[in-house]
Chains A and B, each alone.
Chain A
Protein backbone atom coordinates (compact mmCIF):
# COMPACT_ATOMS: atom_id res chain seq x y z
CA UNK A 1 0.00 0.00 0.00
CA UNK A 2 2.00 2.97 -1.30
CA UNK A 3 -0.51 5.73 -0.41
CA UNK A 4 -0.07 8.82 -2.61
CA UNK A 5 2.86 8.78 -5.02
CA UNK A 6 4.09 11.97 -6.66
CA UNK A 7 6.72 12.37 -9.35
CA UNK A 8 9.10 14.02 -9.93
CA UNK A 9 10.42 15.15 -6.52
CA UNK A 10 12.46 17.96 -8.06
CA UNK A 11 12.22 19.78 -11.39
CA UNK A 12 13.83 22.86 -12.89
CA UNK A 13 12.11 24.48 -15.86
CA UNK A 14 12.76 27.46 -18.05
CA UNK A 15 10.06 30.09 -18.51
CA UNK A 16 7.59 28.97 -21.16
CA UNK A 17 8.28 25.24 -20.87
CA UNK A 18 5.48 22.83 -20.07
CA UNK A 19 5.49 19.79 -17.84
CA UNK A 20 3.24 17.36 -15.98
CA UNK A 21 3.40 16.48 -12.30
CA UNK A 22 2.15 12.95 -11.77
CA UNK A 23 0.02 11.81 -8.84
CA UNK A 24 -1.30 8.32 -8.16
CA UNK A 25 -3.07 6.83 -5.15
CA UNK A 26 -3.90 3.21 -4.38
CA UNK A 27 -6.43 3.74 -1.58
CA UNK A 28 -9.52 3.98 -3.81
CA UNK A 29 -10.08 7.57 -2.66
CA UNK A 30 -12.78 9.49 -4.51
CA UNK A 31 -11.36 12.92 -3.70
CA UNK A 32 -8.01 14.09 -5.10
CA UNK A 33 -6.49 17.55 -5.07
CA UNK A 34 -3.43 19.62 -5.89
CA UNK A 35 -2.02 22.27 -3.56
CA UNK A 36 0.88 24.63 -3.75
CA UNK A 37 2.82 25.68 -0.68
CA UNK A 38 4.76 28.94 -0.59
CA UNK A 39 6.74 30.43 2.30
CA UNK A 40 4.60 32.38 4.76
CA UNK A 41 1.34 31.26 3.19
CA UNK A 42 -1.14 28.52 3.84
CA UNK A 43 -1.62 25.66 1.43
CA UNK A 44 -3.55 26.92 -1.59
CA UNK A 45 -5.85 24.67 -3.58
CA UNK A 46 -5.18 24.61 -7.32
CA UNK A 47 -7.64 22.01 -8.66
CA UNK A 48 -9.58 19.13 -7.21
CA UNK A 49 -11.64 16.15 -8.30
CA UNK A 50 -14.46 14.25 -6.59
CA UNK A 51 -14.30 11.27 -8.93
CA UNK A 52 -13.20 10.02 -12.33
CA UNK A 53 -14.26 12.42 -15.08
CA UNK A 54 -15.01 15.26 -12.64
CA UNK A 55 -12.64 18.16 -11.96
CA UNK A 56 -13.08 21.66 -10.57
CA UNK A 57 -11.04 24.76 -9.92
CA UNK A 58 -9.68 25.73 -6.55
CA UNK A 59 -8.35 29.04 -5.29
CA UNK A 60 -5.42 29.45 -7.73
CA UNK A 61 -6.16 27.51 -10.96
CA UNK A 62 -4.65 29.88 -13.56
CA UNK A 63 -1.78 28.36 -15.54
CA UNK A 64 -2.64 24.79 -14.53
CA UNK A 65 -4.75 22.02 -16.07
CA UNK A 66 -5.89 18.71 -14.64
CA UNK A 67 -7.72 15.61 -15.77
CA UNK A 68 -9.08 12.57 -13.95
CA UNK A 69 -9.51 9.65 -16.34
CA UNK A 70 -9.19 7.00 -13.61
CA UNK A 71 -9.83 6.91 -9.86
CA UNK A 72 -6.11 6.38 -9.22
CA UNK A 73 -4.44 9.14 -11.28
CA UNK A 74 -4.67 12.93 -11.14
CA UNK A 75 -1.90 14.65 -13.15
CA UNK A 76 -1.27 18.40 -12.96
CA UNK A 77 -0.11 20.12 -16.14
CA UNK A 78 1.75 23.41 -16.30
CA UNK A 79 1.00 24.82 -19.72
CA UNK A 80 3.66 27.55 -19.99
CA UNK A 81 5.76 27.79 -16.85
CA UNK A 82 6.34 31.18 -15.20
CA UNK A 83 8.68 32.14 -12.33
CA UNK A 84 5.57 32.77 -10.18
CA UNK A 85 4.90 29.03 -10.34
CA UNK A 86 8.09 28.25 -8.43
CA UNK A 87 6.72 26.41 -5.43
CA UNK A 88 6.32 23.08 -3.67
CA UNK A 89 3.35 21.13 -5.00
CA UNK A 90 1.44 18.55 -3.01
CA UNK A 91 -1.09 16.06 -4.24
CA UNK A 92 -3.58 14.89 -1.60
CA UNK A 93 -6.48 12.44 -1.53
CA UNK A 94 -9.25 11.37 0.81
CA UNK A 95 -12.39 9.34 1.08
CA UNK A 96 -15.54 11.44 0.90
CA UNK A 97 -18.00 11.20 3.74
CA UNK A 98 -20.98 13.27 2.72
CA UNK A 99 -22.34 13.22 6.26
CA UNK A 100 -19.39 14.86 7.95
CA UNK A 101 -16.39 17.03 7.32
CA UNK A 102 -14.00 14.43 8.72
CA UNK A 103 -12.32 13.80 5.39
CA UNK A 104 -8.68 13.31 6.35
CA UNK A 105 -6.24 14.12 3.59
CA UNK A 106 -3.31 11.85 2.77
CA UNK A 107 -0.54 13.83 1.10
CA UNK A 108 2.11 12.82 -1.38
CA UNK A 109 5.76 13.61 -0.60
CA UNK A 110 5.72 16.80 -2.65
CA UNK A 111 7.31 18.08 -5.84
CA UNK A 112 9.69 21.04 -5.65
CA UNK A 113 9.48 23.06 -8.87
CA UNK A 114 11.81 25.91 -9.83
CA UNK A 115 11.06 28.04 -12.88
CA UNK A 116 13.96 30.16 -14.14
Chain B
Protein backbone atom coordinates (compact mmCIF):
# COMPACT_ATOMS: atom_id res chain seq x y z
CA UNK B 1 0.00 0.00 0.00
CA UNK B 2 0.90 3.65 -0.14
CA UNK B 3 2.15 5.32 3.00
CA UNK B 4 3.44 8.69 4.19
CA UNK B 5 5.06 8.91 7.64
CA UNK B 6 5.83 12.05 9.57
CA UNK B 7 6.13 12.73 13.31
CA UNK B 8 2.87 13.57 15.06
CA UNK B 9 4.20 16.49 17.08
CA UNK B 10 7.40 18.48 17.56
CA UNK B 11 8.37 21.28 19.93
CA UNK B 12 10.98 23.97 19.24
CA UNK B 13 12.10 27.29 20.66
CA UNK B 14 11.56 30.70 19.11
CA UNK B 15 14.62 31.72 17.08
CA UNK B 16 15.88 28.14 16.70
CA UNK B 17 15.92 25.74 13.72
CA UNK B 18 13.68 22.70 13.33
CA UNK B 19 13.66 19.86 10.78
CA UNK B 20 10.42 17.98 10.05
CA UNK B 21 10.96 14.64 8.34
CA UNK B 22 8.71 12.81 5.92
CA UNK B 23 9.25 9.30 4.55
CA UNK B 24 7.09 7.81 1.84
CA UNK B 25 6.29 4.61 0.00
CA UNK B 26 4.10 5.23 -3.02
CA UNK B 27 3.23 3.77 -6.40
CA UNK B 28 5.44 5.99 -8.50
CA UNK B 29 6.52 9.53 -7.82
CA UNK B 30 5.62 12.81 -9.49
CA UNK B 31 6.67 15.25 -6.80
CA UNK B 32 6.45 15.98 -3.10
CA UNK B 33 4.60 18.91 -1.54
CA UNK B 34 4.73 20.61 1.84
CA UNK B 35 1.71 22.56 3.07
CA UNK B 36 1.27 24.62 6.24
CA UNK B 37 -2.02 24.53 8.14
CA UNK B 38 -2.75 26.82 11.06
CA UNK B 39 -5.35 25.54 13.54
CA UNK B 40 -8.86 25.97 12.18
CA UNK B 41 -7.64 27.16 8.79
CA UNK B 42 -7.05 25.76 5.32
CA UNK B 43 -3.73 24.27 4.20
CA UNK B 44 -1.52 26.65 2.22
CA UNK B 45 1.28 25.68 -0.16
CA UNK B 46 4.88 25.93 1.04
CA UNK B 47 7.09 23.99 -1.36
CA UNK B 48 7.35 21.45 -4.17
CA UNK B 49 10.28 19.10 -4.87
CA UNK B 50 10.52 16.74 -7.82
CA UNK B 51 14.32 16.45 -8.18
CA UNK B 52 16.81 15.45 -5.50
CA UNK B 53 18.31 18.25 -3.50
CA UNK B 54 17.49 21.31 -1.49
CA UNK B 55 15.02 24.04 -2.43
CA UNK B 56 15.36 27.21 -0.40
CA UNK B 57 12.63 29.79 0.01
CA UNK B 58 13.40 32.40 2.62
CA UNK B 59 13.36 30.90 6.12
CA UNK B 60 11.96 27.62 4.78
CA UNK B 61 13.88 24.95 2.85
CA UNK B 62 12.76 21.56 1.60
CA UNK B 63 14.99 18.61 0.76
CA UNK B 64 14.25 15.49 -1.28
CA UNK B 65 16.01 12.15 -1.74
CA UNK B 66 14.00 10.00 -4.14
CA UNK B 67 16.25 6.93 -3.70
CA UNK B 68 15.60 6.98 0.06
CA UNK B 69 11.92 7.98 -0.17
CA UNK B 70 12.70 10.85 2.18
CA UNK B 71 12.11 14.55 2.49
CA UNK B 72 12.47 17.15 5.18
CA UNK B 73 11.24 20.66 5.75
CA UNK B 74 13.72 22.94 7.49
CA UNK B 75 12.46 26.04 9.27
CA UNK B 76 15.02 28.60 10.41
CA UNK B 77 14.76 31.56 12.80
CA UNK B 78 11.52 30.20 14.17
CA UNK B 79 8.76 32.67 14.94
CA UNK B 80 5.67 32.16 17.07
CA UNK B 81 3.53 32.40 13.91
CA UNK B 82 5.24 29.21 12.64
CA UNK B 83 3.18 27.24 15.17
CA UNK B 84 1.05 25.14 12.83
CA UNK B 85 0.70 21.69 11.34
CA UNK B 86 2.94 20.81 8.41
CA UNK B 87 1.53 18.38 5.86
CA UNK B 88 3.66 16.25 3.55
CA UNK B 89 2.01 14.96 0.37
CA UNK B 90 3.34 12.86 -2.52
CA UNK B 91 1.91 12.78 -6.03
CA UNK B 92 1.87 9.19 -7.26
CA UNK B 93 2.13 7.76 -10.76
CA UNK B 94 -1.59 8.47 -11.36
CA UNK B 95 -1.11 12.13 -10.36
CA UNK B 96 -3.11 11.54 -7.19
CA UNK B 97 -1.93 13.12 -3.94
CA UNK B 98 -1.21 10.86 -0.96
CA UNK B 99 -1.19 12.85 2.29
CA UNK B 100 0.60 12.32 5.56
CA UNK B 101 -1.30 12.93 8.81
CA UNK B 102 0.69 16.10 9.47
CA UNK B 103 3.21 17.24 12.07
CA UNK B 104 2.00 19.68 14.71
CA UNK B 105 4.80 22.12 15.46
CA UNK B 106 4.67 23.92 18.81
CA UNK B 107 6.93 26.96 19.22
CA UNK B 108 7.84 28.01 22.76
CA UNK B 109 9.18 31.47 23.69
Which residues of A are at the interface with B, using a C-beta cutoff of 8 A? 40-45, 58, 90, 100-110
Contacts and interface: CB of A to CB of B under 8 A. Distances in A.
A102 B55 CA distance: 14
B31 A102 contact: yes
A105 B36 CA distance: 12
Interface in B30-71: 30-31, 33, 35, 40-45, 48, 50
Contacts of B35: 105
Interface residues of B, number: 25
A101 B91 contact: yes
Given A42-B87, A43-B43, A104-B33, 20 more contacts: A40-B101, A42-B89, A42-B98, A42-B101, A43-B99, A100-B30, A100-B50, A101-B95, A102-B31, A102-B50, A103-B91, A104-B45, A105-B43, A105-B45, A107-B42, A107-B43, A109-B41, A109-B42, A110-B40, A110-B42
Given A42-B101, A101-B31, A107 B44 contact: yes
B27 interface: no
Contacts of B106: none
Contacts of A107: 42-44
B102 A104 contact: no
Task: Name the 9 nearest CB pairs between A and B, nearest first.
Answer: A101-B30, A42-B99, A101-B31, A107-B42, A101-B91, A43-B99, A104-B45, A42-B101, A102-B48
A114 to B, nearest CB: 15
Given A90-B42, A109-B41, A45 B96 contact: yes
A109 B101 CA distance: 19
30 contacts: A40-B8, A40-B101, A41-B101, A42-B89, A42-B100, A42-B102, A43-B43, A43-B97, A44-B99, A45-B96, A90-B42, A90-B43, A100-B30, A100-B50, A101-B30, A101-B31, A101-B91, A101-B95, A102-B31, A102-B48, A104-B33, A104-B45, A105-B43, A105-B45, A107-B42, A107-B43, A107-B44, A109-B42, A110-B40, A110-B42
